[in-house]
Amino acid sequence: MHSAAPDEMKHIPTSRWEAWCDTFGNGNRGRLIRIELDEELGGEPLVAGAKLVAIDYDPPGKGNAFTISFGPDEAPTRHTINNPVALRQDQDVNGLVVSIRVEDAEGGVTMARFD
């Protein structure tokens, strides 16, 4: 996994979440992913070493949730983050996204790190 500290953090405005998911998902499909939940940040991950299939966002009125799909294309596993309130991406010095962080309305945090 990418262990260096990120060089730049970018907050993604809510109005851009759907477009960001399309662009990011298409450009990063197949990258290895590690998903950590707030109570596990730095600890045992929910998943590690799986391939990213997609990241989707359904706005309020359609579910208001991020869904991260990973594993085999034919039958991916999904992790859903309901009621998100913030999305941020961390980039290395070359502009490569090394992690994303989604915060939900209940104060939970999901961190997805990419290799």
* pLDDT tens digit sequence for 31-84: 999 999 986 566 678 899 999 999 999 999 999 999 999 999 999 999 999 999
Q: Is 103 helix (H, G, I), strand (E, B) or coil?
A: strand
- pTM of the shown model: 0.87
pLDDT of residue 43: 64
pLDDT cut 90: percent of the chain above it: 78
Asked if residue 11 lies in contact with residue 87, where contact means CB atoms within 8 angstroms, the answer is yes
Q: Report residue 47: phi and psi, to 5°.
A: -150, 150
8: tokens are: 């730049």
Q: What string of DSSP letters covers 57-74?
A: EE-TTTT-EEEEEES-TT
